[in-house]
Amino acid sequence: MASPYSKEQLLTMYRKMYLIRRFEERTGQQYTLGKIAGFCHLYIGQEAVAVGPNEAIRPDDYMLSAYRDHGQPLARGSDAGMVMAELFGRGTGYSKGKGGSMHIFDIEHHFYGGYGIVGGQIPLAAGMAFASRYRNEDRVTVCYFGDAAANQGSFHETLNMASKWKLPVIYICENNRYGMGTAIARTSAVPEIYKRASAYGMRGEPVDGMDCLKMYEAVKDAAAYCRAGKGPVLLEANTYRFRGHSVADPATYRSKQEVEEERKNDPIPKLRDYAIKNKLAVDSDFEAIDEEVKAQVDAAVKFADESPEPALEELWRDTIVEEGEQDVRPRERVLGVKVTNWPKYPSGQELKVTWDLEPREQAEQADKKAGLSR
Amino acid sequence: MTMPELMYREALNQALAEEMERDANVFLIGEEVGRYNGAFKVSQGLLDRFGSARIIDAPISELGFTGMSVGAAMVGLRPVVEMMTWNFAILAMDQIVNNAAKLRHMSGGQLRCPIVFRGPGGAGGRLSSQHSQALEANYAHFPGLKVIAPATPADAKGMLKAAIRDENPVIMFEGERLYALKGEVPEGEHVVPLGKADVKREGTDVTIITWSRMYYFCMEAAEQLAKEGISAEVLDLRTLRPLDEEAILASVRKTNRVVIVEEGWALAGVGASVVDLIQSKAFDDLDAPVGRVTGLDVNMSYAANLENATQPDAPKIIDAVKKVLYREGA
Ligand SMILES: Cc1ncc(C[n+]2csc(CCOP(=O)(O)OP(=O)(O)O)c2C)c(N)n1
């Protein structure tokens, strides 16, 4: 059977996964050199979970993540140099060096941040999806979180609301089997996270998170479901991180054998083999990507290294919005490019709210049936 | 021209209705705000007027619906989150503090979070420890938040309107025991700027600094002191973050003596910061150490006599004023 994918699609996905891989390898190296500090969580092994979904949604759909958040913005199209500069704590980073590794934000590319509190971003995503419904836009929100985050109250509280109110949000649990050094099975009564969706009457599915195309298909389908107003979807991407929890973690809590086994599932050669087998690409295509990406990552490190630290006055900016103050557009600020797709929201005068979250007649009929008067 | 007299809760209701009318991005969410018309009836009638997408009955998931509202604000809606009381908002503190207050900073100025968190604070009547706490000091601690606590119906309306229009997260403490209190409230466009204190009573001998419900005890104390020939100025802070430093210092320079009255606990309280401000910027204007009247350093009891003894009242304020005036061996 012929592949349903085009050469361009496959090479785009490959290129992005490969960029994330090389970027993260260099990140780990720069951390050991002392150029990057703080907690720094690498994404190596999980690339398919960021790239497949991103290709399945629109550029103006919303996305947000936890603290393992370098991969998703790169998949979205963020500037690698500015992400690296953020890791270096430089003024040219996306957040002017105020956020660091755990808080990459690129609103131009509709990436609404990485968050350092386990599970804290889960309700935010529902709120963004709520806003889409409120404004009658057919945008979806994709929200990433880890397997351990699924044990937070925020997860359960939010799934309940998202399902009840049919919010267009796709939750992607990146089940890499560990929350720091603790295997998920040791802390979870039901370690298959997708099953928890059924407790809230919502759709939940496991997906092979080591396969970019499987992730792509699952999210394509989920997004159509969300856009049709059918409600949220919980996807459990079964994946694996090849490195420790953070760069500083030697990951002695897992066996060498386990890691070796998982490395055989590497999503990057998997996609490459698929493309070659289906005669959609040849070795030289990948060699060209290899060279391009290496140069791109070299340039990113150089950019970060040569960038100045933020000015001290920056301490006093960006805490409170002063009257009339504009929002900062990072690429415009740093690279001088005109940013044109900054999100625009309708003013209160233009906006017509037509959504009925709890139709009045329905509520009144229910009351009547129950013999209640209001 | 006489202004209509409204209850504190009616003033808030009017502010909400006017702002929702003016801006369709504004919505109200909280437990019991819709069909029940609000646990304290602040949202009376709003569901009928604005519909269920804008007046939202939330499940009892304080962290969940608070975080959801923060997410909505990140993409340009203007949520008003009603906390049934601030005691329960402790469950939502992560979303307020770790997300709402820090979004602009963490994003390097890319995001804003125009949201209001409001609800009753302070002691209820005979509700014991978990329902009777003045928690404003907790929030006043965090950069990225504005914290307001109006005492009068007019301020309640004007400040809620300003809070809804503000581009930052605003924490609004209403007084659980103020809701039924009446006062004159200007109709229509009445906006009280945030960050501005108000001299509610002019005086020359001593400044009593306060906010929210304690304001009424201070006024009562000031009346009684007047009968004894002591002229007390009552400065209602109204906003606790940012503090109106100018207004505080101006009053200190005028009266040279200060008592700060706070319902919450003394340690790490808002009053402690006001003392710090005064001693660092107006030390030479002081004729006596700054006095403080606060809630006692204990949890609230149910028993009527213990509950009363725990909180500030007019006699305690009068004693404190006499002490800073070196009167009657206090
Ligand atoms: C509320 C909270 N508790 C604890 C931590 C410390 N911590 C950071 S990451 C982590 C493990 C989370 O694992 P998981 O959600 O599975 O994500 P993964 O790291 O596997 O991507 C912990 C315990 C935290 N950041 N926030």
DSSP codes, A215-271: HHHHHHHHHHHHHTT---EEEEEE---SS-SSTT---TTS-HHHHHHHHTT-HHHHH
Measure B56 CA to nearest chain A CA, in Å: 8
**pLDDT (mean) for B245-269:** 98
Measure B144 CA to nearest chain A CA, in Å: 5
Residues A113, A65 contacting (CB under 8 angstroms): yes
pLDDT, residue B324, reads 98
Exposure on the CB side of residue B68, measured as CA atoms within 13 A: 31
A101 lines ligand 1 (CB under 6 A): no
3-class DSSP assignment, residue B178: coil
Encoding tokens for residue A286? 């990948």
**Residue B111 with chain A: CB contacts under 8 Å:** 105, 107, 112-113, 327
pLDDT, residue B330, reads 54
For chain A, helix, strand, coil in percent to 5 are: 45, 10, 45
B210 pLDDT band, cuts 50/70/90, is: very high
B62 catalytic, yes or no?
A: yes
B252 pLDDT band, cuts 50/70/90, is: very high
CB pair distance less than 8 Å for B106 and A95: yes
Task: Please give the C-alpha separations between residue A188 and each of A147, A177, A183, B119, in angstroms, as whole numbers.
Answer: 9, 11, 9, 36
CB pair distance less than 8 Å for A356 and B53: yes
How high is the mean pLDDT of chain B? 97
Measure A119 CA to nearest chain B CA, in Å: 10
Lowest mean pLDDT among A353-367, B117-131, B160-174, B194-208: A353-367
A193 lines ligand 1 (CB under 6 A): no
Cα A179 to middle of ligand 1, angstroms: 6
What percentage of chain A carries pLDDT values higher than 70?
A: 99
3-class DSSP assignment, residue A110: coil
Cα A174 to middle of ligand 1, angstroms: 12
Encoding tokens for residue A102? 């755990």
CB pair distance less than 8 Å for B67 and A374: no
pLDDT, residue A374, reads 59
Tell whether A360 lies on the interface with B, counting CB pairs under 8 A. Answer: yes
Among candidate residues B131, B141, B220, B245, the one labeled active-site is: B131
A116 lines ligand 1 (CB under 6 A): yes
B105 catalytic, yes or no?
A: no
Chosen from B110, B166, B167 to mutate, greatest number of chain A CBs within 10 A:
B110
pLDDT, residue A361, reads 79
Encoding tokens for residue A309? 């630290």
**pLDDT (mean) for B55-60:** 98
**Cβ-nearest to B77 among A131, A325, A330:** A131
pLDDT tens sequence across A305-328:
999 999 999 999 999 999 999 999
Q: What's the first-to-final CA gap in chain A, in angstroms?
A: 62
Q: Which among A49, A89, A81 is positioned nearest to A68, based on CA atoms?
A: A49
**Residue B105 with chain A: CB contacts under 8 Å:** 98-99, 318-319
Residue B329 has pLDDT above 60, yes or no: no
Encoding tokens for residue A193? 């996270």
pLDDT tens sequence across A242-251:
999 999 999 9
**Residue A330 with chain B: CB contacts under 8 Å:** 108, 110
Name the A residues in 95-134 with CB < 8 Å from any B CB: 95-99, 103, 105-107, 112-113, 115-117, 120, 122-132, 134
CB pair distance less than 8 Å for B74 and A130: no
pLDDT tens sequence across B61-110:
999 999 999 999 999 999 999 999 999 999 999 999 999 999 999 999 99
**Residue A372 with chain B: CB contacts under 8 Å:** none
Measure A157 CA to nearest chain B CA, in Å: 5
Give the integer Cα–Cα distance in Å for B270 and A325.
Answer: 29
- Counting one residue from chain A and one from chain B, the pairs whose CB atoms sit within 8 A come to 194
pLDDT, residue B1, reads 64
Give the integer Cα–Cα distance in Å for A110 and A112.
Answer: 6
**pLDDT (mean) for B39-46:** 97
**pLDDT (mean) for B230-251:** 98
Give the integer Cα–Cα distance in Å for B164 and B116.
Answer: 6
Report whether the peptide linkage leading into residue B242 is cis, meaning its omega lies within 30 degrees of zero: yes
Interface confidence (ipTM) of the complex: 0.96
Encoding tokens for residue A372? 């209640």
- Whole-prediction pTM: 0.97
